Every structure is written in structure tokens, then in C-alpha cells.
Structure 1
Amino acid sequence: MTRALIVIDVQESFRAHPLWATISDPKIADQVNRLVRLARQAGDLVVWVLHTTPGTGDVFDPALGHVRLMEELERADGEPLLQKTSHNAFTTTNLQQLLTERGISELTVCGIRTEQCAETTTRLASDLGYQVTFVTDATATNPIAHRDAPAGQSVAELLADPRTLSAEEVIRRTEYALAGRFATIATVDQLEAAAERQA
């Protein structure tokens, strides 16, 4: 086993946030489950990561009860579950140590949000020497407000602002930024087809 699937922040916190109404793929858990099945069939390690911000009172504060895997996901016995407080999955966890101890050199990355925690983890993983596959259609994100937009915008105001970057644009830009530099871009269908060829 030299590969690991890193599932980043596919957690109920996002469903509890008003921006969930704008998420690029409300069924992201289904895509993640497909990747998890592939990883387990191949004997790859599956690592689950949750984002937490203790003491903030927001949806990522574990005291509110939302910092848990989406209900459609099921972690198997022995699969690590890490909690991070940084955007990437390495800085505030023992992820690198865990991967090193198990001889992992290849990573498959998926999760929420595409350009934030998933992309940041991918960039750092590449810098650390891992070969990374970024599965874009097993990530999800939201539209991003313009840097000069007023704080505290409602969802309606966000969507009405012509300066807002759509979720589709965010995903496309992430693919452009990562491809050939930090990761190989793939889809779930492509990875399933590759696994069938190898079977």
C-alpha cells in the first residue's frame, strides 16, 4: 500500500451554513463514497479529515455538533480521523507522520472546498514530495464574494453581485492552477475505469 485517499472536510458543518444553498454539488458525499469504495478495494489507506474551530460559536465549533462526517459517509474501523484547524490537512495534524509511517507516496484528494482546503492540501502535499491526484468532481465549493464586497452579505446579495466569482469559475481556475504543477486532475469516472482495467 503506497496510496492514500484524503477526504477533506466533507462534514455536516457545511450543510448547517447558509451558503450550502449555493454549493456546487449538494451530492458530493455520493462522489466521495465512490472514491472510498475504490480505495478500499485497492487496499489503499483512507484518511478522513474534519475542520474545527473550537470556541468560535460558528458551524465549525465542535460544541455545536456539526463537526462530523456527512451522514452518508461511513468510516471503516482503522481508518484515521484527523481534526485540523488550518486550511491544509498537514500543518495542524500528524498527517505527514501517519503517511510516512505507512510508506505512502501517492495521494488522491477530494473534499470541500475545492479552492480552499482541498487545493491548499494538494499544493502542500506536492511540495512535500507526494504524487497527487486531485479529483475535481469529488470536490465542491461555493461562489466567492469580491474582495471589496461588504462583510456580512446575504446569500441573495452574494449571488446578485456581478463581481462574485461563481462556483464553476472557482473550480475551473483551481484545475488550471493545479494541473501539471501540483497534481494530476482526474474524475471519479476516470479512476473507476482505470481500476477496472487493472482488475
Structure 2
Amino acid sequence: MILVLPVDIQKGLDEYAYWGGERSNPAFEANVARLLAAARQMGHEIIHIRHDSTNPKSPLRPGQPGNEFKAQAAPMEGEPVIAKSVNSAFIGTDLEQCLHDLAADHLVIFGLTAEHCVSTTTRMAGNLGFRVSLVGDATAAFPTVTPDGEAIDAETHHRVHLAALHREFATVITTDEAVSLLSAGD
């Protein structure tokens, strides 16, 4: 069974100055909205992942506006939310048990950010034996700096993380391919 797993699509990730600059993928929100609409229309289970940061300076900490889901990714009534405080949605949560209880064996993962929580959750899902379709154009990344001081722009950072995950932990697909997959079922 296919299950849809949006990761950390929260308002605090719009605070670009905190994250080091503007993120990649300006079409991110529109692609997320399309994916969730298709999943709901086809009756797929959706489990939303929310990052509850323990860092007192983070815009993602509970009680702050940035902890809230972005409008395009707000859970509908009855859609469960699993809160986490580390990069992986599997650590310190009951996500794995929920997936087994629902007989989910194929996960469609997307969200923020490609280099952190999406990557870590995707890697663990693959290692736990789930088939993973990672929706590359429904993820995004921020710019970064290498240990030796070289700047890496957000788009390059995004592409490199998708490349590292593809074929090893997941199959990276587009939003169009994910909508087709959700329409066809498993």
C-alpha cells in the first residue's frame, strides 16, 4: 500500500536569513499542493511529519508561528501528525509501527529540507525495507558552505542530495510521476 509522507512543511522554513539564504525550487509549494490533492482524491493515507525543534533560537520550536504547517500542507481532519525533534521521522516516534499497522510498504516522501530531515527520513525508510519514491521537485534545499569555506548554492545542494539518495535509498521522481503513481495505486 502507498502512504504519503510530507516532511516538515512548516512556516519557519520560510525564514531564509535563519537558514542561510533563499532555498531552491520556487515551485515547491505548488507541487506540494498538487501531491496532497491527488493523494486525498485517490484516498491514500497521509501522515504529516512536523519538526518540534528543541533549539530555543529555532523558528521551528513549539509555540512559535514557524512551527505551524504551511497553508499548502496543512493536515485535514483525521490526517495524523507525528512530531519529531531530530532529523529522522523514525527516531523517538511511533512512525514505523504506524506504517506497519497500516500495511504501508511504499512511501511517497517530500518536504523540507532535502539535505536534512527529508534525506535522513528517506535513508532510514529505505534501510527499514520500505520502497521509497522521493518527489524531487516537491523538496527544496538551502545554500551551504563546505568545511573549507566554499559556498554551495541552494540548487546545487538540492541536486546533489537527490543524486545521493537516488537508487540507493529511493527512486527520485517528479510531481507528475508521483500524481500518476497515486492515481494508479499500488
Whether TM-score is above 0.5 comes out as yes
Greater Cα shift, 134-143 or 24-33: 24-33
Give the Å deviation of 1:116: 1.1
Instruction: Name the CA distance, whole Å, in 1 between partners of 2:154 and 2:125.
Output: 24
Structure 2 runs not aligned, ≥5 long: none
2:56 alignment partner, SS class: coil
Opposite residue 155 of structure 2, the aligned amino acid is: E
For the pair shown, which has the larger CA radius of gyration, 1 or 2?
Answer: 1
Instruction: Name the CA distance, whole Å, in 1 between partners of 2:105 and 2:112.
Output: 23
Structure 1 runs not aligned, ≥5 long: 150-162
TM-score w.r.t. length of structure 1: 0.84
Query: In the alignment, is the contact (CA less than 8 A) between 1:11 and 1:68 conserved in 2?
Result: yes
Identity between Structure 1 and Structure 2 (%)? 28
2:3 matched to 1:4?
A: yes
Q: What does 1:44-55 correspond to in 2, within 5 Å?
A: 44-54=44-54
Query: In the alignment, is the contact (CA less than 8 A) between 1:17 and 1:59 conserved in 2?
Result: no
Give the Å deviation of 1:82: 1.2
Q: What does 1:21-170 correspond to in 2, within 5 Å?
A: 21-54=21-54, 56-149=56-149, 163-170=150-157
Residue 162 (structure 2) aligns with: 175
TM-score w.r.t. length of structure 2: 0.90
Instruction: Name the CA distance, whole Å, in 2 between partners of 1:141 and 1:55.
Output: 20
Instruction: Name the CA distance, whole Å, in 1 between partners of 2:36 and 2:20.
Output: 23
Q: 1:168 to 1:131 in 2, by over 3 A?
A: same
Count how many residue pairs are aligned between Structure 1 and Structure 2. Answer: 184
Instruction: Name the CA distance, whole Å, in 1 between partners of 2:43 and 2:145.
Output: 41
Residue 15 (structure 2) aligns with: 16
Instruction: Name the CA distance, whole Å, in 2 between partners of 1:71 and 1:197.
Output: 27
Opposite residue 47 of structure 2, the aligned amino acid is: V
Residue 185 (structure 1) aligns with: 172
Aligned-pair Cα RMSD in Å: 1.9
Instruction: Name the CA distance, whole Å, in 1 between partners of 2:81 and 2:5.
Output: 10
Q: 1:44 to 1:73 in 2, by over 3 A?
A: same
Instruction: Name the CA distance, whole Å, in 1 between partners of 2:156 and 2:16.
Output: 21
